[in-house]
Amino acid sequence: MLIPKILIPIILSARISSQPVTAGYNYKEALKLSLLFYEAQRSGILPESNRISWRSDSALNDQGIKGEDLTGGYYDAADFVKFGFTIAYSMTILAWGLVSYEETYRRIGQHNATAEAIKWGTDYIIKCHTAPFEFYAQVGDFPSDHKFWGRPEELNMTRPAHKIDKDQPGSDVAAEAAAALASASIVFQKIDPDYSHELIRHSTELFDFAYEYRGLFLDTFPGSKHYHENDDYYDELAWAAIWLYKATRLSKYAEIAKTLYTEHNLNQKPKTFFYNSKYAGIQVLLSQEFKNQEYVQAIKEFCDFAVDGMDKTPKGLIYINKLGTLAHAASISYVCLQASNFDKPEDKYVNLAKDQAAYILGSTGFSYLVGYGDSYPKQPHHAASSCKDLPAVCNWDDFRSTKPNPQILYGALVSGPSQIDHYEDVREEYLYNEVTIDYNAGLHSLLAGLMQHFNS
Ligand SMILES: *[C@@H]1O[C@H](CO)[C@@H](O)[C@H](O)[C@H]1NC(C)=O
Ligand SMILES: *[C@@H]1O[C@H](CO)[C@@H](O)[C@H](O)[C@H]1NC(C)=O
User: Among the atoms of ligand 1, which is closest to the Cα of residue 118?
Assistant: 13
Same domain, yes or no: 188 and 323:
no
Q: Is the peptide bond before 391 cis (omega within 30 degrees of 0)?
A: yes
Q: Mean of the per-residue pLDDT values for the chain?
A: 93
C-beta separation of 150 from 395 below 8 A: yes
Residues taking part in catalysis: 425, 434
Choose which residue among 38, 51, 98, 112 to substitute to test ligand 1 binding: the one with the highest number of ligand atoms within 8 A of its C-beta: 112
Kindly give the distance from the C-alpha atom of residue 301 to the centroid of ligand 2, in angstroms, as a whole number.
53
Residue nearest atom 1 of ligand 1, based on CA coordinates: 112
**112 Cα: distance to centroid of ligand 1 (angstroms):** 6
Q: How many domains does the chain have?
A: 2
Q: CATH number of the domain that 413 lies in?
A: 1.50.10.10
In a shared domain, residues 75 and 177: yes
Residue 261 counted as domain residue: no
| Per-residue model confidence as pLDDT tens digits over 19-63 | 444 568 999 999 999 999 999 999 999 999 999 999 999 999 999
DSSP line for 281-331: HHHHHHHHHH--HHHHHHHHHHHHIIIIIS-B-TT--B-S-SSSHHHHHHH
Band the pLDDT of 7: cuts 50, 70, 90.
very low
CA of 148 to the centre of ligand 2 (A): 10
Tell me, in angstroms, the distance from the centre of ligand 2 to residue 98's CA: 42
Atom of ligand 1 nearest to the CA of 112: 1
Whether residue 122 is found in the same domain as residue 206: yes
pTM of the model: 0.94
Report the nearest-CA residue for atom 3 of ligand 1: 112
Can you give the pLDDT at residue 138?
96
In this prediction, residue 447 carries a pLDDT of 98
What pLDDT sits at residue 318? 98
Rounding to the nearest 10 degrees, give the CA dihedral for residues 390, 393, 394, 400: -120
- Report CA(141)–ligand 2 centroid distance (Å): 16
Q: State pLDDT tens for residues 389-442.
A: 999 999 999 999 999 999 999 999 999 999 999 999 999 999 999 999 999 999
Least confident of 17-21, 178-182, 431-435, 448-452: 17-21
Mutate to test the pocket of ligand 1, among 110, 116, 190 (most ligand atoms within 8 A of CB): 116
Residue having the nearest C-alpha atom to atom 7 of ligand 1: 112
Ligand nearest to the CA of 155: 2
Does residue 262 lie in a domain region? no
- Please give the Cα distance from 435 to 429 (Å, whole number): 11
For residue 192, which atom of ligand 1 is closest to its CA? 14
Among the bound ligands, the one closest to the CA of 157: 2
Ligand 1, atom nearest to 191 Cα: 14
Nearest protein CA to atom 10 of ligand 1, as residue: 112
Label the pairing between strands 134-139 and 161-165.
antiparallel
The reply to whether 117 falls in a domain is yes
363 found inside a domain: yes
Residues 78 and 185 placed together within one structural domain of the fold = yes
Identify which of 385, 89, 76 has the alpha carbon closest to the alpha carbon of residue 226: 76
Q: Which pLDDT value is given to residue 12?
A: 35
Last residue of a domain, one of 175, 210, 231: 231
Average pLDDT on 161-182 reads 97
Last residue of a domain, one of 210, 231, 252: 231
* Cβ contacts of 312 within 8 Å, gap of 6 or more: 318, 319
If asked whether residues 77 and 199 sit together in one domain, one would say yes
Q: Is residue 212 part of a domain?
A: yes
Give the pLDDT confidence score for residue 116 in this predicted structure: 98
- Which ligand has an atom closest to residue 116 CA? 1
In a domain, 149, yes or no: yes
Task: Give the whole-angstrom CA distance, residue 283 versus residue 301.
Answer: 10
Q: How far is the CA of 3 from the centre of ligand 1 (A)?
A: 25
349-385 pLDDT, tens digit each: 999 999 999 999 999 999 999 999 999 999 999 999 9
At which of 231, 260, 293 does a domain end? 231
Question: Does pLDDT of 14 surpass 70?
Answer: no
Ligand that lies nearest to the alpha carbon of residue 98, given by its number in the listed order: 1
Residue of minimum CA distance from atom 2 in ligand 1: 112
Distance 413 CA to ligand 2 centre (A): 31
- Chain-centroid distance of CA 124 in Å reads 15
The answer to whether residues 121 and 184 belong to one domain is yes
Examine the domain organization and report whether 214 and 320 are in the same domain.
Answer: no
Q: Same domain, yes or no, for 13 and 63? A: no
Summarize pLDDT for 69-117 with one digit per residue, the tens.
999 999 999 999 999 999 999 999 999 999 999 999 999 999 999 999 9
* Within-domain flag for 423: yes
Q: How far apart (Å, rounded) are the C-alpha atoms in residues 311 and 291?
A: 30
Domain membership of residue 47 (yes or no) is no
Whether residues 423 and 322 fall in one domain? yes
Output the residue whose Cα is nearest ligand 1's atom 6: 112
pLDDT at residue 6 tops 70? no
pLDDT in tens, 291-342: 999 999 999 999 999 999 999 999 999 999 999 999 999 999 999 999 998 7
Is the separation of the CB atoms in 115 and 188 below 8 Å?
yes
Q: Are residues 122 and 214 in the same domain?
A: yes
> For 241-284, how does the pLDDT look when each residue is reduced to its tens digit (9 = 90+)?
999 999 999 999 999 999 999 999 999 999 999 999 999 999 99
Query: What percentage of the chain carries pLDDT values higher than 70?
Result: 94
DSSP notation for 190-239: HH-HHHHHHHHHHHHHHHHHHHHS---HHHH-GGGGGT---S-SHHHHHH
Q: Does residue 20 share a domain with residue 91?
A: no
Residues 79 and 132 in one domain: yes
Whole domain around residue 225: which residue ranges?
55-231
pLDDT at 22: 53
pLDDT, position 316: 98
Atom of ligand 1 nearest to the CA of 115: 13
- What pLDDT is recorded for position 246? 98
What is the phi/psi pair of residue 91, to 5°?
A: -70, -35
Q: Characterise 374 by phi-psi region: left (phi > 0), alpha (psi -120 to 50), beta (else).
A: alpha
Mean of the pLDDT values across residues 166-190?
A: 98
List ligand 1's pocket residues with C-beta within 6 A.
112, 115-116, 119, 191
